[in-house]
Structure 1
């Protein structure tokens, strides 16, 4: 792949995004797009405060979901699929919409990582991408990752992670890492939270097994999922190749080859 690759960091209020793309995000005003999406969300929350506060799926009252802006539709749909509040899908939704924006501007290769939640597209058959897995204090943290190889043109993917031991997001489980892979980052984000809430048990392996049991209920909505608690690990579905990263310091980051 001989096309130039641009790497940018975007920080807009709570949105902290790393962008790797064959499109210069500054030239296509990705910052302005994100600001606009956040403004749409703020206005909706001002008129519908429960949308922001609830930890349960958000239900519209006498209103067709199609009449809402795309960011709101995505968050509501992800909320209802994963049985969580809509804000549990926010980071993944913004990453996904930002990816859609870059592809509309003719990107063939873009990775958008928003606080550990990733949306990406790779249309280059010769290009493979490795995403390192960060799992807090687990000895597996930074030691393994997913290797994605080209499969088909314009196949976008979402890879989102929830943790009960890392970060500030609400989780009722004790996972070091629940990573979900789906076609849509908005859905993967909500599912990671939902599955993570069920990662509980006295023994680490029990916690992993309980998380996998919860994940089974959502199989039609994801490609694969991985759960880590301490030294225990469990998987479900069809995951990409798991490889050693040999990187001691991976934190919400990725490695390209």
Structure 2
């Protein structure tokens, strides 16, 4: 995961933005805003937001441990924090457990907050991304040992944002996946949904023959905009996922 994080973060550090990091326990964020909108107080405000929301979620998980353990959709208990409801809603659409959406849900939370200060926002949380932009952005795809890894990227037009871009992998990192995809990438209306849907997509890919059926499945989830699957030398693409070469200048 450290190697993957370094690669993602090198790709995301675009010259017109100022980037900073916020780390609270397992939540490790890279954040980008317009240069003139950055300030040390903004870093403090984001860290405070993340600490508060993590505490609310941790308190809730102690009250409802089944929520954390579920591998299928799970309805939150009354009084659950908004973050838990966002995770559960995304998981319900994708047919996975709510914790599959936790990184994306935090990316959404922070991204929307930063959007109050900057019209350009990038939030990366463990390879899961919230993006709001007034210009096209290039987002590279890391796919472990696949020969396509670090060779292709997504071109994201401004009018498609804000959106979530999230990746699941059965060969990279420690996140739970029942599949073997080197990268299952989903573009969706928000990062929580993209995160949950990427897990569902990755779970369905064990061999190259599974790619077409998995992409057919993902098309049926409301709010999903596009998807990419990489398994070894095999590649599948659907929807508004526009692939371009990842040039050395972006790596």
Instruction: Name the TM-score class by shorter chain.
Output: 0.7 to 0.9
The change in CA–CA distance for 1:117 and 1:46 in structure 2 (over 3 A counts) is: same
Q: How many angstroms apart in 2 are the aligned matches of 1:33 and 1:57?
A: 27
Matched-pair contact (CA < 8 Å) for 1:180–1:192: yes
1:48 aligns with 2:48: no
The change in CA–CA distance for 1:26 and 1:86 in structure 2 (over 3 A counts) is: farther
User: What's the counterpart of residue 108 of structure 2?
Assistant: 96
Gaps of 5+ in 1: 249-254
User: What's the counterpart of residue 246 of structure 1?
Assistant: 247
Instruction: Note the C-alpha offset of 1:91.
Output: 0.4
2:131 paired residue among 120, 127, 143: 120
Matched-pair contact (CA < 8 Å) for 2:183–2:231: yes
2:89 paired residue among 77, 85, 93: 77
- Across the aligned residues of Structure 1 and Structure 2, the Cα RMSD in angstroms comes to 2.0
User: What's the counterpart of residue 86 of structure 1?
Assistant: 98
> How do residues 110-149 of structure 1 correspond to structure 2 at under 5 angstroms?
110-122=121-133, 124=134, 127-149=135-157
When normalised by structure 2's length, the TM-score is: 0.86
After TM superposition, the structure 1 stretch with the greater mean CA deviation from structure 2, 188-197 or 6-15, is 6-15
Q: How many angstroms apart in 1 are the aligned matches of 2:99 and 2:76?
A: 15
Matched-pair contact (CA < 8 Å) for 1:142–1:246: no
Matched-pair contact (CA < 8 Å) for 1:142–1:247: no
Instruction: Note the C-alpha offset of 1:121.
Output: 0.6
Q: How many angstroms apart in 2 are the aligned matches of 1:100 and 1:237?
A: 25
Instruction: Note the C-alpha offset of 1:236.
Output: 1.6
The change in CA–CA distance for 1:56 and 1:35 in structure 2 (over 3 A counts) is: same
Q: Relative to total residues, which structure has the larger helix share, 1 or 2?
A: 2
| 1:106-151 CA distance string (max 9 Å, x none) | 21001000000000111x3xx3211000011011100110112322
| 1:30-87 CA distance string (max 9 Å, x none) | 11111111001001101111111111101246x4xxx542211101101111111111
The change in CA–CA distance for 1:4 and 1:198 in structure 2 (over 3 A counts) is: closer
1:216 paired residue among 214, 219, 229: 219
Gaps of 5+ in 2: 1-14
The alignment covers a number of residue pairs equal to 233
User: What's the counterpart of residue 236 of structure 1?
Assistant: 238
When normalised by structure 1's length, the TM-score is: 0.85
